[in-house]
Chain A
Amino acid sequence: MKRRNFVKKTSLGSLAGILGLDIVYGAKIPENYTLLGLQDPDPFQMFNKDKEMVVLNSKPWNMEAVAHLLDDRVTPNKYMFIRNNGLVPENINVQEWTITFDGESVMEAKTFTLEELKTKFPHHTYQLTVECGGNGRSEFDPPAKGNQWTIGAVGCANWTGVRLKDVLKEVGIKDNAVYIGYHAADQHLSRDPSKEPISRGVPIAKAMMDETLLAFKMNGEDIPLVHGYPLRLVCGGWPASTSGKWVNRISVRNIVHDGEKMTGTSYKVPCNPVAPGEKVKDEDMCIIESMPVKSLITYPKSGAMIPMGKKLNIRGHAWAGELEVSKVSYSIDFGATWSECSLEKPANRLAWQHFKASISFPKSGYYEVWARATDSRGVSQPMLLPGWNPKGYLNNACHRIAVKVS
C-alpha cells in the first residue's frame, strides 16, 4: 500500500512496473514507516491545531487539549481534541457522498446523498458537549490500557446538521427497533478492508432526541476532515465514540448494535462496582450511556502566582451528560470547606455550562483550587478517583489548579 502510494508520487512511476523500481524502494522502506512525503510531519498544521495541544498517538491520531486551552465558551477547532480508532479517510468526494439507512428494523433500506440530506430536512444548531469515554484514564491505578488521556478529551462546539430522528422518520422504522449503529469511511489500522475500526451507536431513545444530529458543520463551517467531514453523528453528553465520524451508513437494529467496539469490554464498565485491578467477565460489563458530571477550571492556568491581598478570579465549564449541572463549588482547603461559584444555564440542553468565582486567600502560601460540580440529581464529582474499571473510563474526579500567594 505504502509502496504503491510512494511509486505513484515519483516521477518514475510509469517505469516502476517494468524496472521493478517499486520493489527496490519497497525493500528499503521499513515496514512500519509511513513515508514522510505522505504523512504531514506536523499534525498541528495538518489539523489546524494549537501548538499547545498534546499528541498522544500519531497512528492513529489522538490529541488532547490542556485545561487552559478550553477557556472559550464555544470550543474552536484548534482546541478540539482528536480521537481516532482507525485511519482518517482519504480522497473524500463530497459530491458522491451518500448515507444509507439499513438494518433489521428499517421498513426499507434507503440512501440519501449529502445534498438530499441538506435540502430535505430542516437544519438545527446546538452546542453539544462531546467527551471521550476514556478522558482522565491516565489517573487510574492499576493503570488501564489505551491512550492515556488526562483532562483534555472534551470540547463543546456548535454543531449544525439535521436531526437523526427526522431522517429516521422519513426512512420509516419498525416498532422492534432497539439501537442504531453507524458505519463509516475510516480505515482499520491493519488496512484490512474487511475490518471496521469502530462501529458504535445509541439506543433508539437517544437517537430520537432533538439534539442528536447528523452534522455537517462545526462552528458554522464544514466539519474539519479529522473531525468527520463531510458527515458525522453528534450524540451530546454520551461517550464521544457514539458520535461517529465520516458516517456513510446507519443500521437500525432490532438488537443492541454489535459493531466493532460495542462488544467485549470496549466502552463498558463493570455493572457492579469492583475492587481496583479485579478481573471482570465480559458479561458483567455494561455499556456506558450518559457521561457523569464533571467540571474543568479553564482560567487561570495552573501555576499562577498572585500577591497577598489580591483576589483570584477563576472560571471554567461544567457538564453532566444527559443532565444539567445544578451547582459548582470550589475549595481552597482540599475539600474541608466549599464555596459556591456562580453558574450559567446551558446555551441549550447538553451544552456545557460556565462557572466563575472570585477567591480570597487567608494567608500566603501554596494552595490548590478544586472545583466540584453537582448534577440535577444531586450527584457530585468525587475528589478521589471514581470506581476503578478495567478500561479506565469515566474518571470525573475534581479538577484542580495550583496557586501560590506571596
Chain B
Amino acid sequence: MNKQDNFRKQVKSIYSVLVVSFVMVVLIGILGITYMLDPSAFSFKGDTPNSEVIGTSTEDEDWDKIENGIHLRTGLKEGEGLMTVVNNCTNCHSAQLVIQNRMNEERWTETIRWMQKTQNLWDLGANEKVIINYLVTNYPPKSKGRREALTDVQWYPLNE
C-alpha cells in the first residue's frame, strides 16, 4: 500500500515536472522566436516598470548626442579623441573627475601611469596618445596666481 502510494506520488511529481518543463520550453520558444523576428522586443520600450532601461540602448540616437560642443552623457567637450576618452576613462570614475582637472601633457601622462600602477587601468596602446592629446587640448592648466579674484558673485539685497 505504502509502496504504491509512494510510486503514485513519484509519478505525479515527474508528471508535474514534465508539464512545467514543457510549458517552459514553449515559453522559451515563443520568446526566442519573438527575439529572432524583432530583437528590440525585449528593450522595454513600453511603459513597463523597467522603462528607465531605454536609456541603455545603443539604438537610442541620443546616447552620444553632442549639444553646444558638449557630449551630453558625460559632460566632456567635443573634440578629436572624445569617444576614445569616453570609452577608456569613464569606466571606473565619472567624467566629472576628468573635467575638474587641468594638467599638462607630462602630468596627464603621470596620472595615467598612476592609474595603471594602482587602479587597474589597462594598457592604452595607441589610444594613449589620442587620449593625452584630447586632454591637453581641451583641459589644459589655467594660471590662477597666488589668489584669484572673486568671480560669479550673485548679488542680492540683504534684508535683516
Contacts and interface: CB of A to CB of B under 8 A. Distances in A.
Partners in one complex: yes
A36 B96 contact: no
Contacts of A76: none
Interface stretch (B9-17, B125-133, B147-155): B147-155
Given A143-B101, A146-B101, A402-B153, A10 B96 contact: no
Interface string A187-208: 0111010010000000000000
B92 A302 contact: no
Given A12-B42, A19-B31, A397-B147, A190 B92 contact: yes
Interface string A32-50: 1101110000000000000
Contact of B150 (A12, A57, A190, A402): A402
A148 B28 CA distance: 52
A303 B154 contact: yes
B94 A59 contact: yes
Interface residues of A, number: 57
Interface stretch (A21-29, A104-112, A247-255): A21-29
Given A143-B101, A301-B156, A305-B155, A192 B56 contact: no
A36 B91 contact: no
Given A19-B28, A57-B94, A36 B53 contact: yes
A63 B119 CA distance: 22
A300 to B, nearest CB: 5
Interface residues of B, number: 50
Given A30-B56, A30-B58, A21 B42 contact: yes
Given A143-B141, A192-B120, A302-B150, A57 B93 contact: yes
A35 B56 contact: yes
Contacts of B143: 141
Contacts of B43: 28
B98 to A, nearest CB: 10
A29 B63 CA distance: 11
Given A10-B50, A189-B119, A29 B156 contact: no
8 contacts: A36-B56, A141-B143, A143-B102, A145-B107, A147-B97, A190-B120, A305-B155, A385-B147
Interface of A: 6, 9-10, 12, 15, 18-19, 21, 24-25, 28-33, 35-37, 55-60, 139-143, 145-148, 188-190, 192, 195, 264, 300-306, 312-313, 368, 383-385, 397, 400, 402, 404
| In the A-B complex, the 3 residue pairs with the closest CB atoms | A304-B158, A190-B120, A141-B144
